[in-house]
Structure 1
Amino acid sequence: MRKLVRNLLLVVGGCALVLLLVETSRLMWVGSTELTVEFVITDADTGQPLAGAEIAITSYGGFYEGGYRLREKGVREEEFTLKTDANGAAEYVCNGSMCSGQKSPLGSVNTFAVHMPYWHITVKAPGYAVPEPVQLDSQNGRSAERTGPRRSKVVVPLALHRAAP
């Protein structure tokens, strides 16, 4: 009887050890995604969306097709503008954005992050003070969510304060 219990404990312990070793090993990966950057512009006091706000973006490149294009042209930066719709939203799609993550064999670890484009963003809306320019950063990349195969999205909320009379 003692031999049976000992053998059973050895088998259970061995299986637990194998599972632990398998699950603590992680596959690190790098790939690309079609990243949609959505800006949501609101009134800081009311939370209401601001239609027609102008989002001026100065791009310094990054790990996506737009960044590669700048490097190929030998250009350090480019500028473009977006306008918000009735919902205070405007979006831009960054094709071929570099992404990476880790995954464990049994799925207890499954991370995903996207390299954000190197953008300085200034927002203007009639009747509102112009805030300090903001920059996309790695925190935004960790908040990007997968929306489908090779597709992801990050939402960048920005609240504007009314201009002093």
Structure 2
Amino acid sequence: AGHTSSMATKLARRTNLSKLFKGYHRCFRATSCVSVDGYKKLLEDRDMQLLKQKIGGFEVTPAPDLSKQNVTFEALFRRSKFCQLGNFSGSIVMGKVIDVVNDDLYIDFGGKFHCVCPRPKRCGKSYTYGTRVKLLLKEFEMADKFLGSARHTSLLEADAVLLGHMTQKEILQEELQENILY
């Protein structure tokens, strides 16, 4: 008797599921006729709508598709984030802690070299691997002509001051900007 009741339960579940998914195959067949480019465009439009809802009143415009154009290196370089920085000294940039050695934080901000900042004494334990931070960039590359040297020598790091943690709003805006530009 127990075996037949479990069979009846399975049958009831199966019929309920078939009612739930009735007509589902028709939708699947219809979407399979859409071209890959059309489907990609549909997903991009949906993503743009979701981003507009998250951000609010900002106008979001997609970046031009450079893959189909014959673009020179000079044009790409002018549009790069490197050129958008302009004069480096005094710029506030966002970075991510990539290593912690004793009380030194190694921070990647997207420049040629990382910067090394001392861990703050107040709330210092909150600065761990992967923490998003704000930096005041002093020098993009610390290089100088040292005594007795004929050429400039690079210390292979940037000079920056740690300003603190990034807020959730700043993190969201940075991710949005990265998605739009690239």
TM-score above 0.5, yes or no: no
TM bucket (normalised to shorter chain) is under 0.3
Greater RCO structure (CA 8 Å; 6+ sep): 1
Bigger strand share: 1
Task: Please say which structure displays the higher CA radius of gyration.
Answer: 2
Q: Give the alignment's TM-score, normalised by structure 1.
A: 0.24
Q: Give the alignment's TM-score, normalised by structure 2.
A: 0.23
